[in-house]
Structure 1
Amino acid sequence: MQKYPFQITTEILNLVAEICELTGQLSTHSKLNNSPQLRRTNRIKTIYSSLAIEQNTLTLDQVTAVISGKRVLAPPKDIAEVQNAYEIYDRLDTLDPYSVDNLLLAHEVMTRGLVDESGEFRSRSVGVVDNHGNVLHVGTLPAYVPGLVSELLDWVKNNPRHILIKSCVFHYEFELIHPFADGNGRIGRLWHTLLMSKWNPIFAWLPIESMIHDRQEEYYRAFNVANVAEDSTVFVTFMLEAIRDTMLEVIDGSVTVKQSKSEKAATRENTVMNYLNNNGEITNSDVRKLLNVSVATANRILNTMVEKGLIIRFRSGRSWAYRKR
């Protein structure tokens, strides 16, 4: 029996191939390679989103201010979470992703001054809870945690599967073990990023956590489905899609276009309206193909057009579609 059950589906293989292709594009052409400001912006988005998933109350502007050393009126705990997260993400390239000691160090920095067992595996039983307070899973008994974490890191290091797949499996299995009293989600997402960044450094600067934050309900649902099935395939697929879509958004934002933002938005809206003139209705998938954008960008375009009164949304079968008002 496979130690960490998951299936290598055609969808997963296609996602890995697509991500590999996008990695080449980002490594060759992206502004991430020569824009410290863009990297900093993405890092701030990453920290804001990962903490927001765990109910941190600071806005993106407030997180930016804290990282810039400015005074912010907010709960001290939330400010400390931002400062700690920024410190450990800034040290990402110094961490060994297969070291238990480094994992504990990351937890110590991430939770410094915030939890009793900072930098230590938990000594009591805990459960995995979604953002509605529903218990999704009861963590491993404390006595087994150190050994299971060590085994998991060894598996990721030595298994021949592609690191894109292994890092997603790690993310799921790490949350299943739930090795810390607090901070498991933050550390799990950090370590997922670390594992991928050792394959290609570009992943250290991609705000994948921002996409997870946007799809938080799906994130928890994928974990829950995988937990019930005792197989992480659904979660691995979800995470690969989130990685792929994050990369598409970064590429979309990095393309040099002489149009202003308003001109670009108008061009896209005109393209959508022309499509509707010829076809009557349009879906998110149609917009993605039509404009070569990600799922999130297509949603943003369509929602903006709805707000402007250009189109209306309606139920078409099991999904949503849009038509002219």
Structure 2
Amino acid sequence: MSRYTPPLTLTTRMLGLIADISEQIGQLSAVSENQQTPQLRRGNRIRTIHASLAIENNTLSVAQVTAVLAGQRVLGLPREIQEVRNAFAAYEAMSGWRPDSRIDLLRAHELLMQGLIDDAGQLRSAGVGIYRGDQLVHMAPPPSRVTHLIDDLLAWVGSSDWHPLIVSCVFHYEFEFIHPFADGNGRMGRLWQTLLLSRWRPVLAYLPVEAVIRDQQEAYYAALSASDRLAESTPFVEFMLHSLKVALAEAIRNEPVTDQVTDQVTDQVARLLHALRGGGVFKVSELMEQLGLAHKATFRGNYLKPALACGFIEMTDPESPRSPAQRYRLTQLGRQATMGSG
């Protein structure tokens, strides 16, 4: 039994969010627990990796991340390409790790940071401060305390009878506070929270909550800072629970249109993929004409966005989504889907 219990004030907002999230998971599990295809899971994992690395200033686009993982040549910084490969390897290995094991935590960090830092897979041996710009926002505990603090935290994770949602969020905050590694702490904290959530509900292994965090990056850092000031994780737990709720709402919204390839991809997405099957690149107006559609909002909502979210199609200019010169084409994933759908 762990003697350490992280400080936390349970709030009515947390309880409300837990109730909402549990209901959402029920909705999502009803349609996808045993039905998510490898393509859909891979699409969500790509979004997860892209967002988690973007938070750490990786500049590769979703399309570039997809291409790297498909083994294609990508114009980009070698370090950023290595970060993508490492992150994918780490998330793929996640199901084999125990959330309360220091050995597994170190293995995960080694996978995540190999080739990027010299001491991948080792707890830090130097002091570290976290800066936003020129401002010191957090001074992490001294290196002499790191092993003890991490062991206490992992022992608590293994023995806590708190709700798994709370445990995962508290772990994430406490991990960032300890900052146990020389580099890669942010992406490790997000990876390990996903591991904890996936042990509770397997459907959460592929929930791209990182994309929500990336869109609210300032609020993410503000919640960490607010928890530091209070000396308890309460503000951060509320922020993370809300982010999970937003990510689940998006997953439920997308589920009917991203549910499965072949017979389970919606007719609309299948029609769009069929229109692109011959290769080439097309403008929105050209695709609408091929599909016999006149209403742009319907086309975007029912055809284009779901296909993009699944990773079945990509933009020719992802850095400028609204460019008048924007075209769309099938990805390798999309080509596989069209082969499966006949």
Which letter does structure 1 place at the counterpart of 2:13? E
Tell me what 2:233 maps to.
232
Which letter does structure 1 place at the counterpart of 2:164? I
- Residues 32 and 38 in structure 1, CA contact (< 8 A), matched pair in contact too: no
- Residues 32 and 203 in structure 2, CA contact (< 8 A), matched pair in contact too: no
Tell me what 1:160 maps to.
161
* Distance in 1 separating the partners of 2:11 and 2:114: 40
Which letter does structure 1 place at the counterpart of 2:6? Y
Q: Is it true that 1:69 corresponds to 2:68 in the alignment?
A: no
* Distance in 2 separating the partners of 1:125 and 1:37: 43
Q: What is the CA-CA distance between 1:262 and the residue it aligns to?
A: 2.4
Residue 33 of structure 1: SS of its match in structure 2? coil
* Distance in 2 separating the partners of 1:180 and 1:266: 43
Where do 1:148-227 residues align within 5 Å? 148-227=149-228
Q: What is the CA-CA distance between 1:255 and the residue it aligns to?
A: 2.8
Change (3 A) 1:135 1:32: farther
Which letter does structure 2 place at the counterpart of 1:239? M
Residue 81 of structure 1: SS of its match in structure 2? helix
* Distance in 2 separating the partners of 1:128 and 1:40: 33
Q: What is the CA-CA distance between 1:106 and the residue it aligns to?
A: 0.3
Which letter does structure 2 place at the counterpart of 1:262? A
- Residues 109 and 121 in structure 2, CA contact (< 8 A), matched pair in contact too: yes
Q: What is the CA-CA distance between 1:251 and the residue it aligns to?
A: 0.4
TM-score by length of 1: 0.78
In structure 2, the gaps of 5 or more residues are: 258-265, 269-294, 303-321, 323-342
Q: What is the CA-CA distance between 1:33 and the residue it aligns to?
A: 3.0
Aligned length: 267
- Residues 128 and 182 in structure 2, CA contact (< 8 A), matched pair in contact too: yes
Q: What is the CA-CA distance between 1:3 and the residue it aligns to?
A: 3.6
Where do 1:137-152 residues align within 5 Å? 137-152=138-153
Tell me what 1:16 maps to.
18
RMSD (Å), alpha carbons: 2.2
Change (3 A) 1:168 1:31: closer
Mean Cα deviation higher: 69-78 or 21-30:
21-30
Tell me what 1:5 maps to.
7
Residue 255 of structure 1: SS of its match in structure 2? helix
* Distance in 2 separating the partners of 1:32 and 1:264: 29
Q: What is the CA-CA distance between 1:265 and the residue it aligns to?
A: 6.7
Q: What is the CA-CA distance between 1:5 and the residue it aligns to?
A: 1.4
Where do 1:85-124 residues align within 5 Å? 85-124=87-126
Mean Cα deviation higher: 151-160 or 210-219:
151-160
* Distance in 1 separating the partners of 2:77 and 2:221: 26
- Residues 123 and 146 in structure 2, CA contact (< 8 A), matched pair in contact too: yes
Deviation readout 1:107-136 (Å, 9 max, x if unpaired): 001000111111000000012234x45322
In structure 1, the gaps of 5 or more residues are: 268-306, 308-325
Tell me what 2:283 maps to.
none
Q: What is the CA-CA distance between 1:181 and the residue it aligns to?
A: 0.2
